Amino acid sequence: MNKNEQIRKYLDGELTGEELKNFETEINNSPELKNLVDSYRDTLNQFKKIENVNSEESYFINIVPRFHESMRNKKRLKLKPAFAFSSIALVLTSILLVFILNKDNQVINPVHEISSEELSSYLKSNPQDYYEMQLTESVPQEYDSLFNSIFFNELNIDDNSGKYLVDVTGNEFYNILDEISDEDAESIYSSLISKKIY
Amino acid sequence: MTEKDNDYNLIERFNNGDESAFNELARKYQQRIYWHARRMTGNHLDADEIVQEVLLVMYRKIKTFNFRSSLYTWIYTITTTRSINYIKRRSLKQIFSLHDVESDQRSGTDLVTEIENKEEVKRLEKFLQYIPAKQREVFILRAIDGLSYKEIAEITGRSEGGLKSNYFHALRKLTEMMSNE
């Protein structure tokens, strides 16, 4: 057993019988060893004194209430993410609902589901929209005049007749159609089918 | 009734929904927790935070406590682990030079009421901070709290032989420092 272990055992009270007796004799015969052991014992005594020191009671009285307070705060904090999550979910659901409802309102029936009567009625009530859409929106403006000149050229008609034709095919077409009698219509039809255009 | 029986009854009551039983347990051990943490970390604010953390662990985990060891051994284990975590955190702060100013501010609060003791406690706590945490841990548990090596082995999970060696190294270093004071 080395000296340090012997000193530790002695200070810890682990030496008994012959071992204890021999070590005590050694201490008494060696002032150096005695000083060393005394200095260790003194250190231990100093630390032992701080085992029970008088301390502020108010601090210890408040430990448990503070603990419960922090527990309550933690529970409150736990609720916050749940609240935030449900708020976000609510907002997203609202946006989704608005989107779905608007989408339902904007559904356009496919053309094949529209009856010919409905189409005819629509075209009669909105001729301007129809022609404007057909002649101005679907045809790029730069091709419009070119198209007109080719068209008039092919039909061998002058500018004034062309303008009239455009007007007729535009706003007044259906009004004129309504004013033509059955005999006139028959006459126009007969002259048209007998006329050789090409 | 022995201390172990008393603890057992309090835990049983708490497990059956009696919150006041936990308060009794907390009051019974709060001083030991605080002073152990305080000696380990060397300052009041860290010790105060550790007390609250240990109580929280007790509150959440005491239902699983099976009395294979004594309750105070279990509480010391939690306190020691938390304290060492705080010490490691502080070491990191020291590396990044964040600790110096803060430690001075933190150690300012003192609960010791007698002026003579106050100076003595401060002086001895300062010495404890100069020895490695593992030696400090054993020295506090053995020399101040008076636990046996067997109990300290339970708390720290280290062998009794190693603990005895750590304890004597700590005692020797502290004695040297105090004699050169």
Please give the pLDDT value at position B105.
Answer: 47
Express as a percent the part of chain A with pLDDT over 90: 27
How many whole angstroms separate alpha carbon A35 and alpha carbon A67?
Answer: 48
> Is B172 in Cβ contact with A4 (below 8 Å)?
yes
Per-residue confidence (pLDDT) for residue A21, from 0 to 100: 95
Mean pLDDT for chain A overall: 78
Residues of B with CB under 8 A from a CB of A: 23, 26-27, 30-31, 34, 51-52, 55-56, 59, 111-114, 117, 120-121, 124, 139, 143-146, 164, 167-168, 171-172, 174-175, 178-179
Q: Which residues in chain B land under pLDDT 70?
A: 1, 96-110, 113-116
pLDDT grade for A58, boundaries at 50, 70 and 90: confident
Give the integer Cα–Cα distance in Å for B99 and B106: 10
Tokens matching residue A18 = 């012959």
In the prediction, which pLDDT does A75 show?
73
Q: With a cut of 60, say whether residue A137 has pLDDT above it.
A: no
The per-residue pLDDT for range B91-121, each reduced to its tens digit, is: 777 776 655 545 544 555 667 766 667 888 8
Task: Look at residue A35 in the predicted model and tell me its pLDDT.
Answer: 95
Q: Name the residue with higher pLDDT: B29 or A119.
A: B29
- Distances in Å between the alpha carbon of A108 and those of A96, A134, B19, B37? 20, 19, 66, 75
Domains along chain B with CATH numbers? 1-110 (1.10.1740.10), 112-181 (1.10.10.10)
Question: CA B81, CA A160: separation in Å to the nearest integer?
Answer: 103
pLDDT for res B101? 46
Mean pLDDT value of segment A29-50: 94
Closest CA to A59 of B21, B39, B110: B110
B37 or A190: which carries more pLDDT confidence? B37
CA atoms within 13 A on the CB side of B26: 25
**Hey, is the C-beta of A63 within 8 angstroms of any chain B C-beta?**
yes
Question: What CA–CA distance (Å, rounded) separates A52 from B32?
Answer: 10
Share of chain A above pLDDT 70, in %: 67
Higher pLDDT, A80 or A58: A58
**Which one-letter DSSP state was computed for residue B140?**
I
Q: Determine the pLDDT at residue B118.
A: 80
Of B53, B141, B142, whose CA–CA distance to B89 is shortest?
Answer: B53
Which residues in A lie closer than 8 A to residue B145 (C-beta atoms)?
A: 51
Specify whether the CB–CB gap between B62 and B14 falls below 8 A: yes
- Helix H or strand E encompassing B159: none
A59 near B33, Cβ under 8 Å? no
pLDDT for A111: 54
Tell me, letter by letter, the H, E, C secondary structure of chain A.
CCHHHHHHHHHHCCCCHHHHHHHHHHHHHCHHHHHHHHHHHHHHHHHHHCCCCCECHHHHHHHHHHHHHHHHHHHHHHHHHHHHHHHHHHHHHHHHHHHHHHHHHCCCCCHHHCCHHHHHHHHHHCHHHHHHHHHHHCCCHHHHHHHHHHHHHHHCCCHHHHHHHHHHHCCCHHHHHHHCCHHHHHHHHHHHHHCCCC
A positions 21-60 inside 8 Å of B (CB): 39-40, 42-44, 46-51, 53-56, 59-60
Split at pLDDT 50, 70, 90, the class of A87 is: confident
Residues B117, A60: C-beta atoms closer than 8 Å:
no
Mean pLDDT for the stretch of residues A66-93: 81
Q: How many A/B residue pairs have CB atoms within 8 Å?
A: 83
Closest to A41 (Cα-Cα) out of B143, B136, B128, B123: B143
Q: What is the complex's ipTM, to 2 decimals?
A: 0.84
